Amino acid sequence: MVLSKSCTYGLLASLYVAKQGKNKNEYVSIRQMSDELNISFHFLTKILQKLTKTNILVSLKGPKGGVALTRAPQLITLLDIVIAIDGPDLFTECLLGLPGCGIQKPCPVHERWAEAREDLRVMFQGKTLADTSHDVEAHNLRLSLPDLIRK
């Protein structure tokens, strides 16, 4: 899997927050979000804590509490979220997992993969929450996980 489950949940939740919070200065309830996205509440909470720690979200406890974006969704890229949750390894590490792989001592697929992973990085960096959220509305795209997760 390219992205961890935590990371995909974090992306879906961030898109949800971007959409919900658009014209309201309100915190988005994690409980409601977990219900609508079909993600375990406690698990989602833990993931979102990573996003608050990296200053992508702010949270508020108590009634009317929840999470909100720290800045405009135009200023948050999908790359920000991926790195906050999964770390930068996907965009820096050797495909074959060889430590020290690089220009000096490349692995057999170093060059090819270096290009591919840079493309991937550009793709994530080129899409903001605003862009993506707009696409979601424009094309009525899905965010939620299906009830049955069996494949």
Partner DNA sequence: TTATTTTAAGACAATAACGTCTTCTATTAA
Partner DNA sequence: TTAATAGAAGACGTTATTGTCTTAAAATAA
Task: Give residues in contact with a second copy (CB under 8 A).
Answer: 1-3, 5, 8, 11-12, 15, 78, 89-90, 95-101, 105-110, 112-113, 116, 119-120, 123, 127, 132-133, 135-136, 139, 141-143, 145-146, 149, 151
For residues 5 and 112, which CB has a smaller minimum distance to DNA in the complex?
5
* Tokens found for residue 11: 């992306």
For residues 54 and 59, which CB has a smaller minimum distance to DNA in the complex?
59
Q: Which residues bind DNA (CB under 7 A)?
A: 1, 4-6, 9, 27, 29-31, 40, 42-43, 45-46, 48-49, 52, 59-67, 149
* Distances, alpha carbon 103 to alpha carbons 62, 80, 109, 112, 118, in Å: 52, 26, 11, 12, 15
Binding partner selected for residue 99 from a second copy, DNA, none, CB under the kind-specific 5 to 8 Å limit: a second copy
Enumerate the β-bridge partners of residue 68.
58
Binding partner selected for residue 116 from a second copy, DNA, none, CB under the kind-specific 5 to 8 Å limit: a second copy
DSSP string, 30-73: HHHHHHHHT--HHHHHHHHHHHHHTTSEEEE-STT-EEEESS-G
Q: What is the rounded (10 degree) CA torsion for 83, 89, 92, 94?
A: -160
Least distance in Å: CB of 103 to DNA? 26
